[in-house]
Amino acid sequence: MTAEAVVRKGRKFEQVLDGAREVFMRDGFEGASVDDIAREAGVSKATLYSYFPDKRLLFMEVASSQCCRQADEAMLSIDLSRPPREVLPKAAHHFLSFIYSEMGQRIFRICVAEADRFPELGRQFYQSGPQLMHGALVGYLEAAVQRGEVRIDDLELAADQFAELCKADIWIKLLFGVRDMPSKPEIARIVDGAVDTFMARYGA
């Protein structure tokens, strides 16, 4: 069964996803067993397999649904009519709330760990969240350019640069277990610095 197989939705679909999310986050992709997932979800293995014939499909659905939810929330904060100093901090806080979260970090680690064997895991993770947010930010920056609020020749690069500025200092330390979760003032410091740096480069 390939990872492109169609997932059949049904009455216990969300129940299976909730159980799988708990097990994947606790045991990782390789360590997660179908028996444990079925037990956590409160369904039979036959029911689980009727929705997800392949464990990769199940993980991709868990990761994608979480990423889509976060991306939707972030994109709601991007009002094309408002100035960058108002929109960029909101977008940054939504972005960081996911990548700093335990769920976001674990999904990232699992995708990286399985990249050689199952490259489609990482591709779907990227397409379901980061790519959507990137596209929304590019669209916003294009509108801001047209209003004369920023001067940007390469919108794609500028959007990626802003995302990288938001990840400065804390994110890599969290991934490597060097530090604990940041406080709200620490996150505000990173966001303010990212916006100030970005506007210093691109502000009109």
DSSP 168: T
List the one residue out of 101, 153, 163 whose CA is nearest residue 133: 163
Note the CATH architecture for domain 7-53: Orthogonal Bundle (1.10)
pLDDT confidence tier of residue 102, bands split at 50, 70 and 90: confident
- What is the tens place of the pLDDT at every residue in 142-174? 999 999 999 999 999 999 999 999 999 898 888
Cβ neighbours, 10 Å, residue 3:
15
User: In this structure, which topology does domain 66-202 adopt according to CATH?
Assistant: Tetracycline Repressor; domain 2 (1.10.357)
2 confidence band (pLDDT: 50, 70, 90) = very low
**Nearest-angstrom CA–CA distance, 74 and 186:** 20
Domain ranges of the chain: 7-53, 66-202
The two tokens of residue 5 are 């197989």
The more confident residue out of 191 and 63 is: 191
- Nearest alpha-carbon partner for 51 in 65, 64, 61: 61
